[in-house]
Amino acid sequence: MEETYEEIVRKWYLKLQGNFASLMMERYRNSSLQLADVENIYQDVFIAIRENLRNGKVKENTNWESYIIRIGLNLAGKKYRQIKDVDSIDEPSDDSEKISNKAQRISNLISSLPSEEDETDIKSNLEAQLLLGDELSHTPEPCASIIRLTYYADMTDAEISREIPAYSNNGKSVESNAKAVKARRWLCMRDLIYRVKMALFVAGIIDEKPTKQKRNGR
Amino acid sequence: MEDNLPLFDNYINQTLTPEEEAEFDKRLKSDKSFREEFRIYLFTLRGIIMEAEGDNMEFAYAVKNLSQEDFEKAIFRNPDIERFTLPSDYFSPLPSVRADYSSAIENDVTGDDDVRFSSVDEVFFKDSNLELNAIPSPVDSNMPVPDSSEEITEHVSIKTSKRRIRERFLWISSIAALFIAGLFTIISVARNGDNKVDDVIAYYNQWATTSPRGGFDDAPDLSSMKGKELNESLNNLRSTYDNPEMSLQDREMAGFSLAIYYVKKHNRKEAKEILNEMIVKFADDDEFTATCREVLKMLD
């Protein structure tokens, strides 16, 4: 059943609030920031998004996940943070161009791949795309977030480790968490690719049945 | 089967050396299995990107096309909708009340109004050129940036601490006052409710005791009496009720009249006492004790 606009907005609101609140409480744990403040800031961010979209100040294809967190941290930072050093989060950055550059490279690569007659052109195959979409929607967390932040938002492992609560507030160093994110990403991607291949094989789109790789890659 | 994912990642991120890249391209042309694997990998990445873009566009359109009211409902601005809560272990320990640089901002020590913000409006709408790429950093403000934590403390004013303490006290006392007022209101409403119930019980049972169709033709109507007359009647009823030589019917009448009188006076305690007493005393009269039990049920 198709979602209403209200359901879509609420889904985003609920999807990101836990992560947002965790990040804020962790980032400003030595300030007077309370959960009620976090909730207010979070709602203010959404209201600002609406105004900025309507005024054309921000594009529709913005990476909202990062945008919401960035704006929220910025709003909270003005009020609660002791200014000692500048985080990269504070510096304005334009990731939309970076994202489209990467997307363009992938698109170019997939088009320019050499192929023989008996090889299926899966990129144009609608059924293949539907199967892929289904597998993506069944990707659990934190895999879904790690994969998206890596390949869509083009974030580094260290940046990702600061965004995902499982890694950002476990008391370990950024380096250690970055390594953990990297290791987790390989596992997530292997699992996703395996599932995609299996779905394509079962649908008869590819001929080779995938084999599940063990952790050591064999 | 080898794990080619790291190699694929490095290739699309263009972090391979020229030699490694050349080797990769060569293998793509000659190794069908390798090529197929890379194709599926790229296909998956493209799907990830397209899905993310699609989700972002969908969200943006939804936000733009919702009315203000529906939008606020979606983000739980409506207080009737349950709001999210974090588990208790998400809460960090309460910070000690100490003055810090942010307090200095609140008290406008710097004298720079632009630094303070009390609503999103001041941040986003004051500057009409504000966009994602132009979000002002606190570092860009006119505020002096302290070099050390000692300097932060030095910027604090004692007035800030007192003001905070006063604010907190006002909050606490306001909440306490509201709570007490609420409690009294509840008690008052409950009492009023109870009194109305008592009146109904008394009225119903008064009718039962004084009506010719009831059992007590001689039951006095205490509600119309006052002062000395009332006291005398009450005493007579009491002595009739307590006198074992009086007839069963007279004693029952007297006891019941007393109970109903107390109900009318909203003295449930006395009324219940007499009713419970009569259930025991007049246990042989099933019909009467049933009536007493009914009244007791109403009073509970």
Nearest to A9 among B32, B62, B123 (CB): B62
Q: What is the ipTM of this complex?
A: 0.82
The H-assigned helical ranges of chain B are: 5-12, 18-30, 32-65, 68-74, 101-106, 120-124, 149-154, 158-210, 227-242, 248-264, 268-281, 286-299
**Residue B290 in contact with partner chain A when CB distance is under 8 A:** no
**Residue B83 in contact with partner chain A when CB distance is under 8 A:** yes
Q: Is the dihedral of CA B84, B87, B89, B93 positive or negative?
A: positive
Per-residue pLDDT of chain A (218 residues; tens, 9 = 90+): 678 999 999 999 998 888 888 888 877 877 788 888 889 899 999 999 999 999 988 888 888 888 888 888 888 877 766 544 444 444 434 555 556 677 788 888 888 887 666 666 777 788 888 999 999 989 988 899 899 888 888 888 998 888 787 787 778 888 999 999 999 999 999 999 999 999 999 999 888 888 876 555 44
List the 142-181 stretch of B: residues with Cβ below 8 A of A.
Answer: 143, 145-146, 149, 152
| Distance of alpha carbon A135 from alpha carbon A188, whole angstroms | 12
List Cα–Cα distances, A199 to A107, A142, A193, in angstroms. 22, 22, 10
Test B12 with A106 for CB contact under 8 angstroms.
Answer: yes
Test B33 with A208 for CB contact under 8 angstroms.
Answer: yes
pTM over 0.90: no
pLDDT tens for each residue of A24-65:
887 787 778 888 888 989 999 999 999 999 998 888 888 888
List Cα–Cα distances, B124 to A33, A74, A91, in angstroms. 21, 12, 17
Pairs across A and B, CB distance < 8 A: 242
Q: Is the CB of residue B238 less than 8 Å from the CB of residue B258?
A: yes
- Sequence ranges of the domains in chain B: 5-65, 106-154, 189-299
Total length of chain B: 300
Nearest to B120 among A12, A22, A44 (CB): A44
Tokens of A125: 């195959």
| Distance of alpha carbon A7 from alpha carbon B74, whole angstroms | 7
Nearest to A48 among B39, B84, B120 (CB): B120
Q: Does the pLDDT of residue B145 top 60, yes or no? A: no
Q: Does the pLDDT of residue B72 top 60, yes or no? A: yes
Interface mutation vs chain A, best among B34, B69, B124, most A CBs within 10 Å: B124
| Distance of alpha carbon B140 from alpha carbon A196, whole angstroms | 48
Residue of B nearest to A27 (CA): B92
| Distance of alpha carbon B219 from alpha carbon B20, whole angstroms | 113
Percentage of chain B beyond pLDDT 70 is 59
3-state secondary structure A118-147: CCCCHHHCHHHHHHHHHHHHCCCCCHHHHH
Other Cβ atoms within 10 Å of A37 Cβ, number: 17
Test A189 with B120 for CB contact under 8 angstroms.
Answer: no
